[in-house]
Amino acid sequence: MKIEYTIKLDPGLVPRIVGPQDVLLRRISSMVASQIVLRGNQLFVEGPDEEKVKLKALFRDLEGMAKRHHLDDSGLDAALTLAGFSAADRGSGKNDSGEGLVVFERPGFTIKTRSENQEDYIQSTREADLVFAVGPAGTGKTFLAVAVAVRALLDDLVDRMILVRPAVEAGEHLGYLPGDLKDKVEPYFRPIYDALMDMLTPEKLRRFMDQGRIEIAPLAYMRGRTLNNAYVLLDEAQNTTGEQLKMFLTRLGARSRAIVTGDLTQIDLVDKTASGLAEAMVILRGIKGIRFVNLDHRDVVRHNLVKEIVQAYERERRERPTDES
């Protein structure tokens, strides 16, 4: 059923939200079923009732971003994801690609890419010093990042690998938990430990950790450090603030590389538009040496049901009613 409604925008932010010559607004209009007309600071919308919630969320998020930065296509992509528009909705996904690239190999065990987006991801890690991989659960973003870093460590391309996550559930205040640092953070790093144990024997993993060649730490422990000749991974970056992510990125020293992974649909921060990952997609796009890779449900490589689960939750989030009229 088609309905008509209006979305009011902050008059001072309209030029940023719609873009030069309305380029961003025209891009939005080309991706949705609704007709959108801008008059002054109001958007007059006519379209399916089920699209109303997402469009209101989209322009609310764009308004929040526009208060801090000029928007471009990358910022719009971040806002579209936050509002529940999947990559499939906007036609930016890729098809599976055949054999795949070898990422990691040891006797009896090989890790290869399984989709074109994953190939783009791995190729980006070989060509850029800083790679952002954004996508839902099960797309291999963390597992492949660990594989790339372990391979670089074993080939002596770096002296050490450092694995970092924001401990949001503990508010980054880990002192009350029992045990040493390893004991305190282990529950938050279980996915990374699991990936490491797929690639290294328990003995080699223990030796590397004892030697400091593999370090696992919460994000708060990165402040004030300079990380030279290292492969640094930041996982769950959607749960960093802009200041936290900036702090992490400015730790990189000479001969270091980094991979930042996250899922913009799983932000645990109170203000979802304050996500450092969403902000980085706006302000860092176009810088030489930085690559952004988007993964979606077609890249899911876990149990076959995981892809169906991801798609079901995406549909539910798009259709979920809100208190807005």
| Spans of all domains in the chain | 2-83, 102-295
Q: Which CATH class is domain 2-83?
A: alpha beta
Could you read off the pLDDT of 17-41 as tens digits, one per residue? 998 888 889 888 878 888 999 999 9
Q: What is the pLDDT of residue 94?
A: 37
Residues in the chain where the model's pLDDT stays below 50: 91-97, 169-177, 324-325
Backbone angles phi, psi at 69, to 5 degrees: -150, 160
- For 145, left (φ over 0), alpha (ψ -120 to 50), or beta? alpha
Picking from 205, 183, 182, the residue whose alpha carbon sits closest to that of residue 194 is 205
User: What single-letter amino acid sits at 48?
Assistant: P
Q: Is the dihedral of CA 233, 310, 317, 296 positive or negative?
A: positive
Q: How far apart are the C-alpha atoms of 215 and 217, rounded to whole Å?
A: 7
Coil, strand or helix at 110: strand
Coil, strand or helix at 61: helix
Close Cβ partners of 91 (under 8 Å, ≥ 6 residues apart): 31
Please give the CATH architecture assigned to the domain spanning 102-295: 3-Layer(aba) Sandwich (3.40)
User: What single-letter amino acid sits at 89?
Assistant: D
What count of other Cβ atoms lies within 10 Å of the Cβ of residue 108? 5
**pTM for the model:** 0.69
Give strand ranges (E) for the chain: 2-8, 35-39, 42-48, 102-106, 109-112, 130-134, 160-165, 214-218, 230-234, 257-262, 290-294
Q: How far apart are the C-alpha atoms of 135 and 262, rounded to whole Å?
A: 7
Q: How far apart are the C-alpha atoms of 294 and 133, rounded to whole Å?
A: 6
Q: What is the pLDDT of residue 18?
A: 92
Q: How far apart are the C-alpha atoms of 233 and 155, rounded to whole Å?
A: 17
Could you read off the pLDDT of 73-94 as tens digits, one per residue? 777 888 887 787 755 555 433 3
User: What single-letter amino acid sits at 175?
Assistant: G
